[in-house]
Amino acid sequence: MDNQLTSPQRHEATISISNESTNQLSAGWKLYFNTVFISVRPESLLPNTTIRHLQGDFFVLEGNTPEIQAGQQLKIGYKSRGAFLKNSYAPEGLILVHADGKVEEIVAYSTQVLSEKELADMAKSTPLPIPTSAKRYEENLAVSELLGSEIPPFLPTPKKWSYTGEALKITNAGVAVVGSKEFLETTKYLLLTLRDGYKPQVNRNEAPVNIKVTKVDGLKPEAYHLKITNRRVDILASDERGAFYGVQSFLALMPVDFWSKPGNTLTLPQVEIEDEPAFGYRGFFLDVARNFQPKEQILKILDLMAFYKLNVFHFNLANDEGWRIEIPGLPELTDFGGRRGFSTNESEFLWPYYASGEDPQKSPAGSGYYTVSDFMEILAYAKARHIEVIPELGVPAHSRAAIQAMEKRHQAYLKSGNPEQASAYRLADPNDQSSYLSAQNFKGNTVCVCQESTYAFYEKLVVEIKKMYSDAGVQLKNWHTGGDEVPRGVWKESPICKDFLAKNPEVKLEDLNDYFRSRTAKILEKHGLAMGGWEEVGQTHRGDEVMPNPKFANQNWRLYAWNAVAGWGGEDMAYRLANAGYPVVICSSANFYFDLAYDWDPDERGHTWSGVSDMYQSWKTVPGKLYLSHDQTIEGETWDWTEAEKRFTQLTEQGKRNILGVSGQLWTETVKSPEMLEYYLLPKMLGYVERAWGGDPNWSKQSNIKEMKSQRAAEWNQFSNLVSKVEFPRLEVIFGGFNFRLPKPGVTIKDGRVLVNSELPGLLIRYTDNGTEPNETSPLYREPIPYFNGFSPKFKLFLPSGKSGREATLD
């Protein structure tokens, strides 16, 4: 009804309920719903009713709700802080509770759709870059189609590569694969993969293809040399990781049919490659707590990571909205914390956060966890692909699922007459009256750090998970404690903490977070584990200023620097922490958070709190000069590289050594299925993959801004050609195929003609002019189309297979 995008941002909306049954809906009903995009104190415009925030994204409309007669409609207006920017902001997961207590999940509902043009009109007085068909067209003019010989052979782009001859097509020849004794597992991996994609009827008269995976001295860790000449393939490395990445590069040279239609022909490009990674830490973080992903999808993601040479899987297994790993001896964690569904009091399972549904048995995103055997299978699968799995079980905040589960345990043991066991792993102070709200709008989500049962619980987790690693034949070396977003106001009114502080006068209320970090670090040290956490673990406050905490700078705690919203002033925190002495992984929210929406198109789902992020945004990151990683602030203002460099902290020599690498993150509040996960990841993740392996791009090393921007455009053109021509066709089929995103085409009118283009060169453009949606049989756009009044064509990008993106129209 109203949408204000200038400060103070706010919106007003109406929910209309139509009673299409033959019975009246009696007065006193309640409507529960989910949305993370309205404020926690929205104003209901229906007299004598309120919209009450329960927890997280879960709300209820209640009060003197009127009866709705059969055939009648009731309109309920509300006002909220915050602008309405995405069609997914609308309430979802509607559950109606009748006055008599009957629960009814409402699945037949629709929401108003805000078009790009409407949102662009609303944003005219702001610099917010709402895309339009015409803007896309102008931006797409920067790319052009290149020949195959002008682009690298695969992603991530190798350091050095050259074609030495024409590609060889070999039919029904045998393959001899041999490897140094140090590389037997990698050689076996190659042999098994080859057998899946190449099935010759061996002709003994054909000379065999000889593949050797050989250990040599002198190459850096993870480096490899690959040379293919005639029917000989040499993969050289000094360690098994390098040999494995050489094998992945050899497999990346195989044609698409190798992955989709195994046959009797092997295509071998004659090429020579020398390659090594820029960073030792090349991570991917996945949250499965907010919304669950099945084990099979995790294994598929590990295959994808290995193919693109990522080597750390940071696995977030617990949060406020779910606990996702079985812990022997603590079944409540998964029996309660691993299930979501509807109840009025959250007594048997968690509420259906993120619209995960009323029935916990029919909630694949809300309910689910990994058994011990599941987790061990994941660990072994990752180890075989040279991927380290780092578990994250975040504390002290983000812990509501665990807190509530341990309260269930407490009640059960009290009922059975065993108060000692009841309190053994309790995480809450039951009399704590502290008032706080977390960043994700949860109350009661932070463990009590002043009682020993909290530390007993955490050590129990460490012991049990370490045993899973050991039983899987994997060494657990690093542990991630979370540690982020501890709400202000926690522990203030906790009787247990007041008593603890009275008995320990050297500890102040403001020191409790540091006290907790020290205690958890000692638990990890006792079990031979290195401690890691989000950047807050190594930060302290001076008033409103956030700064590195010198107290722990010599503890070798690995910090994950994430909070880098462009224009908010914290973009250089990774450098400040590294200079202070902390080992740092760059996780920049503005560049490497894959749950951000691709752009400001209102139909593109995803968060916008740190701006928007597409493949280009992740690709153009400069880890060693982060001030070059942006062109705009989150508000859409111009980002000035010269001014940014002046205010940016510069890395010292020690600081440079402390930058361990980079990590890409996918949080899943808005991700409801494996298909959605893949859409959010790809192709956005490919830009990150290039930076993780390649480090600072060549364009960032030019001497002035004009040269940098010119060189950046040329390198982006090469990269975008590589993605559309090489990676997309393979991603359709490899490891079962991925649901990657194709962008909308750009469309404009010039000189009485309709012009159309693509940000990814070489994709097919199809169109219709009769109001229907283009499909794989629609005409191809080959040249500008004459425009006339009333002409309203629709355009879509297609791959040769028929896979398509979303349609675009004339603005």
Domain match, 270 and 179 both: yes
Domain-located, residue 499: no
The rounded mean pLDDT for the chain is 97
In total, how many domains does the chain have? Answer: 2
Which one-letter amino acid corresponds to residue 636? Answer: G
Would you state the pLDDT for residue 702? Answer: 96
Q: Where does a domain end: 275, 307, 327?
A: 275
Phi, psi of 360, deg, nearest 5: -65, -20
CA torsion through residues 359, 361, 362, 363, sign: positive
Q: Where does a domain end: 95, 114, 133?
A: 114
Q: For 306-341, how does the pLDDT look when each residue is reduced to its tens digit (9 = 90+)?
A: 999 999 999 999 999 999 999 999 999 999 999 999
Question: What are 533's strand-pairing partners?
Answer: 559
Give residue 59's domain range.
2-114
From the list 693, 9, 552, 11, the residue with the least C-alpha distance to 1 is 11
**Cβ(34)–Cβ(431) below 8 Å:** no
**Cβ(699)–Cβ(127) below 8 Å:** no
Domain-located, residue 282: no
Domain match, 107 and 169 both: no
Please give the torsion angle defined by the CA atoms of residues 133, 136, 141 and 142, in that order, rounded to the nearest 10 degrees: 180
Would you state the pLDDT for residue 811? Answer: 78
Domain match, 271 and 178 both: yes
Domain match, 47 and 103 both: yes
Tell me the average pLDDT across 546-572.
96
Instruction: Using the predicted structure, report yes or no on whether residue 544 has a pLDDT greater than 90.
Output: no
Q: Where does a domain end: 253, 275, 297?
A: 275
Domain-located, residue 196: yes
Domain match, 88 and 182 both: no
CATH label of the domain that carries residue 77: 2.60.40.290
Instruction: Using the predicted structure, report yes or no on whether residue 78 has a pLDDT greater than 90.
Output: yes
Instruction: Using the predicted structure, report yes or no on whether residue 441 has a pLDDT greater than 90.
Output: yes
pLDDT grade, residue 127 (50/70/90)?
A: very high
Domain match, 31 and 100 both: yes
Preceding amide of 683 cis, omega within 30:
yes
Domain-located, residue 618: no
Rounded to a whole number of angstroms, the distance between the first and last alpha carbons of the chain is 23
Domain match, 42 and 110 both: yes
The rounded distance, in Å, linking the Cα atoms of 455 and 97 is 40
Would you state the pLDDT for residue 118? Answer: 94
Domain match, 189 and 255 both: yes
Domain match, 185 and 110 both: no
One-character DSSP codes across 510-550: GGHHHHHHHHHHHHHHHTT-EEEEEGGGGEEEETTEEEE-G
pLDDT grade, residue 200 (50/70/90)?
A: very high
Which are the contacts of 64, defined by CB distance < 8 A and separation ≥ 6? 27, 28, 47, 48, 49
Tell me the average pLDDT across 431-442.
97
Domain-located, residue 239: yes
Assigned token pair, 496: 């247990």
Domain-located, residue 681: no
Which are the contacts of 100, defined by CB distance < 8 A and separation ≥ 6? 26
The kind and range of the H/E element at 580 are helix 573-580
Q: For 213-244, how does the pLDDT look when each residue is reduced to its tens digit (9 = 90+)?
A: 999 999 999 999 999 999 999 999 999 999 99
CATH label of the domain that carries residue 208: 3.30.379.10
Domain match, 164 and 270 both: yes
From the list 530, 415, 365, the residue with the least C-alpha distance to 462 is 530
**Residue 480: C-alpha distances to residues 9, 97, 129, 484 (Å):** 36, 41, 36, 11
Domain match, 92 and 181 both: no
Domain-located, residue 711: no
Q: For 469-479, how does the pLDDT look when each residue is reduced to its tens digit (9 = 90+)?
A: 999 999 999 99
Domain match, 108 and 167 both: no
Is this structure's pTM higher than 0.95?
yes
Domain-located, residue 322: no
